[in-house]
Amino acid sequence: MSNLHQLAAQAVRQALESGRTVATAESLTAGMVSAVLADTPGASGMLQGGVVAYQNSVKDAVLHVPADLLARVGSVDPDVARAMAAGARSALGADVGLSTTGVAGPEAHDGKPVGRVYIGIATAAGTAGFEYSFTGSRPDIRAAACAAALERLLEALSA
């Protein structure tokens, strides 16, 4: 079992034990987080759904990330990650919203370097954004972002 699948299995188990549901909003991971959660038996009891919001227009229209925020800071920002997570939580009716946004490369984006990633978490208690800097190939960075998102989800489910 891969590390990603081990993290997902822990998250599914914790969510089921605590009776909480999860929704994802993914940009650079483009559905990897929800897919690895769905690979886990029992995921249907906790995974509400996910939004792949690769374009800013989707972040705005579907997840209600403020257009002025996107225009001001770009898509790779902790405030955008927080807003994406809150948008997923609201749109999909979940207890926990989880988001990913970042630069997988090969080029920098919105003035942010390759490997810069933000993970957002939204719960009834509020939102948080976490910054990471990963190295490696595009697939390496996306996998590292997926793992970081699952780790943050585990923390949120433990709270």
Across 136-159, average pLDDT: 97
> Per the omega criterion (within 30 degrees of 0), is the bond before 106 cis?
yes
On whether the CB atoms of residues 60 and 67 are closer than 8 A, the answer is yes
Instruction: Place 110 in a pLDDT band, splitting at 50, 70 and 90.
Output: confident
Report the chain's C-alpha Rg in angstroms: 14
Predicted pLDDT of residue 8: 97
Instruction: Evaluate if residue 1 carries a pLDDT over 80.
Output: no
pLDDT above 90: percentage of residues in the chain:
97
Q: Which residues contact 72 (CB under 8 A, 6 or more apart)?
A: none
Average pLDDT of the chain?
A: 97
Mean pLDDT of 129-145: 98
Give the residue-averaged pLDDT of 123-136: 98
DSSP codes joined into one string, 28-56:
TTTTHHHHHHHTSTTGGGTEEEEEE--SH
**3-state secondary structure (DSSP) of residue 133:** strand
pLDDT tens digit string along 51-97? 999 999 999 999 999 999 999 999 999 999 999 999 999 999 999 99
